[in-house]
Amino acid sequence: MINRRTFLSSATATAALAALGIPPEALAANRIKLGNPAPFSFDALISQVRTAAQSPYKPQNKPPADILDKIDYEAHGKIKFNTDSSLFANGPGQFPVTFFHLGRFFQAPVHMYTLEGSGNNAKAREILYDESYFDMPADSPARGFAGFRFQESRSGDQAKLDWRKNDWVAFLGASYFRAIGDLYQYGLSARGIAIDVAQAGKPEEFPNFTHFYFETPADKSDTVVVYAVLDGPSIVGAYKFIMRRSEDVVMDVDCALFLRQDVGRLGIAPATSMLWYSEAVKGTGADWRPEVHDSDGLAIWNGNGEHIWRPLNNPARITASAFGDNNPRGFGLLQRDRNFDHYQDGVHYERRPSLWVEPLGGWGEGSVQLIEIPTDDEIHDNIVAMWVPKAKAAAGSSYRLRYRLHWMKDEPFPSPLARCVATRKFMVEFKGAPLEKLAFGELPEAVLSSSRGSFSYIFTEAVPNGVAGHWRAQFDLTVDGEDPVDLRLYLRHKNQTLSETWLYQYQPFKTRGVY
């Protein structure tokens, strides 16, 4: 297939590369075909999507569904991108870009561009699809790009990993994207936007990232910059992603959003994860593993400075929880349990990254909302966490938002208070420095409240494992009916708060195979 690879050799490209100080042979060696240059800037992209919001949504043309359906999971797995054709395979920059193919599960075509120059002087050139970029069966009907990923560094700290076999961020499917953390593992996903998740009477909408633009990177930089266009029936937007690969992955997101239609639940900076069962949500023999989840809780640092931990549920029916706030400091879906023995699985759930959302600038009034959806398998994402503005998301509304995504093994701004380390129904464990400071014989007080029901047999005690500062609170709850009960608990001593706040939604009814 080498004879079909096309080398960049036009005089226009040569001049543009020379202006950047990049030898023309660097991009030529990437074996990609490029379209004609066109002016590009982020301001112009925002102006473009603002204008598009004034017109009805027009879906992109895509290959016939009967053709894409032939590329099922097995067939898609046989289509491998040839890394010799990677964008920036030989530089500039550390991180080559490889591409995903269309198929049954990824049917929306995505246009890819490389940028020459910077700022208002940049030029965008489309990366033209060619089947020679992929190793695939000769009779494959596949045609077109579905997404992309950045491979690990060709040099530097990640050079110990073969960049051709290891990647650190991927954008694929609707507006979904994900990154590895400092434990070198993929897990939960982020999205560009969430439209009407679990909104009564309305189907969820999945806008697509339709265009991506890759800045030419600096040779020794650990940062890459990508621009994107989001398009859907109710919304259109422009995004700028500044993504840094160090020990973990940090992304700065700058987005301008414009609504074509009213949206009942507009989810900003959404994270999507999976919880089948955990120590708090027990399986009943459905699977041999002790726990199966990508995330085990929602953490919130609210505008008042309170740190909250809400263990996740696998409910019997869809539930939506809202945590009202004003200018939140951050929230995220975390994987706190890092003990392999708690999972016993070679896919290493204990290494799945946590995702923390840090607002940059005031977001005003709204709520962190948590959607929990029933699942009976680990293949389904059933957890969504997002920020929902208080003001109605009406047609004609616009938003300019900035936030930072931290993909790492822990939250970036942990509370100095003791944190919740285990939830075992009505026994909750806390561990941390404030509990270590209790004098011998002193007991922390369990401060409890609930939306309904009554408590009894409330007590606290040190966990008998010899670990300093490791305590547990236990209680019984009496409640009538099957409606969910919202519980709230923290530890204090002499009016001093010792722990973060544990929130929990107890569901008295028996769920489908899960209590």
Rounded distance, CA 172 to CA 163, Å?
Answer: 19
Rounded distance, CA 101 to CA 99, Å?
Answer: 7
Rounded distance, CA 418 to CA 310, Å?
Answer: 15
Domain count for the chain, please give it.
2
From residue 486, give the alpha-carbon distance in Å to each of 216, 313, 392, 499.
50, 12, 26, 19
pLDDT of 13: 39
In a domain, 319, yes or no: no
pLDDT of 17: 42
Inter-residue contact 281 to 275 (CB < 8 Å): yes
pLDDT of 490: 98
Low-confidence ranges of the chain (pLDDT < 50): 1-29, 511-515
**Domain containing residue 428:** 419-499
Residues facing residue 212 across a β-bridge: 112, 228
String of DSSP letters for 330-394: EEEEE-----GGGT--TT-GGGPPEEEEEESS---EEEEEEEE---SSTTS--EEEEEEESS-B-
3-state DSSP percent of the chain in helix, strand and coil, to 5? 10, 40, 45
In a domain, 432, yes or no: yes
Q: Does the global pTM surpass 0.85?
A: yes
Query: CATH number, domain at 2?
Result: 2.70.98.10
Residue 320's nearest CA partner among 413, 375, 232, 385 is: 385
| Of the residues 244, 260, 276, the one at which a domain ends | 260
Q: Which two tokens stand for residue 402?
A: 């900035």
Angle, CA of 384, 386 and 389, to the nearest 5°: 145
Which pLDDT tens digit goes with each residue over 382-431?
Answer: 999 999 999 999 999 999 999 999 999 999 999 999 999 999 989 999 99
In a domain, 358, yes or no: no
What dihedral angle (degrees, nearest 10) is formed by the CA atoms of 337, 342, 348, 351? 10
Inter-residue contact 366 to 303 (CB < 8 Å): no
In a domain, 40, yes or no: yes
In a domain, 36, yes or no: yes
In a domain, 2, yes or no: yes
In a domain, 426, yes or no: yes
Rounded distance, CA 475 to CA 55, Å?
Answer: 57
| Of the residues 243, 260, 277, the one at which a domain ends | 260
Rounded distance, CA 477 to CA 457, Å?
Answer: 9
| Segments of 73-192 assigned E as strands | 80-81, 97-101, 111-116, 122-128, 134-135, 145-151, 167-172, 176-179, 189-191
In a domain, 18, yes or no: yes
Rounded distance, CA 292 to CA 247, Å?
Answer: 26
Residues facing residue 482 across a β-bridge: none
Residues facing residue 503 across a β-bridge: 488
